[in-house]
Homo-oligomer: A and B are copies of this chain.
Amino acid sequence: MRHLLLTLRYRGTNYHGFQVQQNALSVAQVVQDAVEAVFGARLDVKGCSRTDAGVHANRFALALRTESGIPCDAVVRAMNVRLPEDIAVTGCREVPEEFHPRYSCTGKRYLYKIYNSPVRDPFLSGLALHWKYPLDENAMDAAARQFIGTHDFAAFCSAGGSVEDTVRTITAASVAREGALVTFSVTGSGFLYNMVRIMTGTLLEVSRGALAPSDIPRILAGRDRAAAGPTAPPHGLYLDAVFY
């Protein structure tokens, strides 16, 4: 039995996240349809994470087991013929039997993109949060750096997450501007439910002066979701990298 790891890139606008759901089209369901056409059987696919509706992936990893001998480069080509234009398989390699795309993962990087301009950009509709008022990316960057380290992120977790342990390690976090695009980049060992979106909502509170960068350690220590900022909408969020 071969164990294949496929990397995907997808625009999440038309999907209710990665995970298969009843009565809603998911990325996994569309991928499984293509897998069935390519491998001749409906195979189970295991993803590296659930993503929310409207969230994008520059790099997402999923694994499947097959008896098929089809070479990896042919898998990439055949899958891309069958997938819709908003999903692409970017790579395929064999992994050991015990590999698990979620539990073998040593870290992930997320980006949150904000288009900061009085007038929206029609080409970024669904691809970045549009923010009309001036953003202070320096204050946001100073606040983002307060997330670095091993902390209890209970204040940055939406109800509905099933985990008990809310301690996570963030290895890199920063905010940078390129023209009108302000991007929050955060890398860590793992992330809680809605964690990056709540971090982003909190950075936006810092930008408008409602919170200071120095408030972040206090919010972390308080473990109170209500002390952090609102949950930023999904369409600015990108799973950017998965590390194994």
Contacts and interface: CB of A to CB of B under 8 A. Distances in A.
Interface of A: 9-11, 56, 76, 80, 85-90, 119-123, 125-127
B119 A86 contact: no
A9 B120 CA distance: 9
A121 B86 contact: no
- Counted per complex, copies of this chain come to 2
Contacts of A120: 80, 85, 88
A119 B85 contact: no
Main secondary structure of the interface of A (DSSP, over half): mixed
A85 B11 contact: no
A80 B119 contact: yes
A56 B121 CA distance: 12
Contacts of A87: 122
> Nearest 7 A-B pairs (CB), nearest first?
A85-B125, A11-B122, A86-B122, A88-B122, A88-B119, A10-B122, A88-B120
A91 to B, nearest CB: 9
A119 B79 CA distance: 11
Contacts of A11: 122-123, 125
